[in-house]
Structure 1
């Protein structure tokens, strides 16, 4: 079994869409270990709709659309790291984190800490807009402090060459490419846009 983890520098930046594109390109299985918010389409629902690929059930399904530690506390649930061990799959597994890397799963334990337990290669997804340099470099630093193996960084949004370049140079991290915002989000449109992503580097890491 080979797994790759997709984390983000923030919430709402296109991490789920990127994960769906990666699942589709690799013919992989998708897993969202912790889902906070069940009223609208969940991330697993979105990936299944866009790819038709298998999606494993979440380890924790929490109703409140908030940080996992708060959602869990409201429901009297404690998220246990041992319940988040990577599942066995026949082919590649794409795992999507919740929000940004330092989102707490429980008091004193973040998603970055869980990624350190997994020791699987991580792709950081970052937006290209204002503020991304700070958020991206802090995410890189937080993961490296925990010994998390980082495969590279992928950008989502309009081309901003200076921001993308300085993040990669200062973070000493390779760019995996940029996924544009898609006006019409369909399976076909996502597959076409994902050709801009460096799948060779990703496959080599798996």
Structure 2
């Protein structure tokens, strides 16, 4: 896989930390990595954004941000209110293609969920994945309600003929409740794709060296780690 699109079933569920973990494992393997944030919202001109956070945690990766809009809104709305041109799927795909020619892995981290609008025409991250023919990694929350949003995202991917790489829990609680524990077994069925990891809550607050050292414990071999869904489920069950 040269390009992976990282989306979520909502906002503030751990997409950036998961992206950083995937990047860290690839860098540890000696692979060159680029991270693309098509539209960064809710961040001022001189503030650190998601790409900066990935670089801080993962190490030496190329970071590209195509659009920045100050209000914490959907990209289309934030661009309109800022009086700025929106980011288009064609622009994202073009940039990703250039980066893929120079890097072993390109990670594209979306804003919010799969169908959040980029522009007034209704373009979304799903269009980016379609243009690139790239698999989509879906980051999900652990608890009650996640099965529905996971299934809806999976249905949207299938309707567009897009490949779902798998699902990662973006913030696994230190004290998981019954719903979270049961969801470990139910998420693959809801997604129609494998569970590929569970990143512990607070992982993004770790020192970079500790983050990189532990990332392999959170993600499955398909993402470069050694995490095992069955063993993890038995341990927390």
Instruction: Give me the whole-angstrom Cα distance separating, in 1, the residues matched to 2:106 and 2:220.
Output: 15
Q: Which region of structure 1 is more displaced relative to structure 2, 30-39 or 17-26?
A: 30-39
Q: 1: CA distance between counterparts of 2:164 and 2:131?
A: 14
Specify whether residues 168 and 98 from structure 1 end up closer, same or farther in structure 2 by C-alpha distance, changes over 3 A only.
same
Map of 1:130 onto structure 2: 144
With structure 2 as the length reference, what TM-score do the two structures score? 0.78
Q: How many angstroms apart in 2 are the aligned matches of 1:81 and 1:171?
A: 25
Query: For residue 66 of structure 1, what is the aligned residue in structure 2?
Result: 73
Q: CA shift at 1:188, angstroms?
A: 2.9
Cα distance, 1:193–1:52 mapped onto 2, change above 3 Å: closer
**Alignment match of 2:34 (pick from 11, 26, 29):** 29
Q: What secondary structure sits across from 2:65 in the alignment?
A: coil
> How many positions carry a matched residue from both structures?
203
- Equivalent residues in 2 for 1:30-179, closer than 5 Å: 30-39=35-44, 40-74=47-81, 75-85=83-93, 86=96, 87-88=98-99, 89-107=102-120, 108-156=122-170, 157-158=172-173, 159=176, 160-179=180-199
Counterpart-to-counterpart distance in 2, 1:170 and 1:47: 29
Report the equivalent of 2:19: 19
- With the length of structure 1 as denominator, give the TM-score of the two structures: 0.89
Tell me the C-alpha RMSD between the 2 structures.
Answer: 1.9
How far did 1:198 drift? 4.1
CA distance in 2, matches of 1:96, 1:189: 23
The separation in 2 between residues aligned to 1:57 and 1:90, in whole angstroms, is 13
Alpha-carbon offset, residue 19 of structure 1: 0.6
Q: Rg bigger for which structure?
A: 2
State how far apart, in whole Å, the 1-side matches of 2:20 and 2:191 are: 26
Q: CA deviation at 1:83?
A: 1.1
2:42 & 2:57 partners in 1: Cα distance?
A: 20
Gaps of 5+ in 1: none
Shift of 1:120: 0.8
| Alignment CA distance shift 1:192-1:52 (3 Å) | closer
Q: Where in structure 2 are there 5+ consecutive unaligned residues?
A: 28-32, 225-237
Deviation at 1:48, TM superposition (A): 1.5
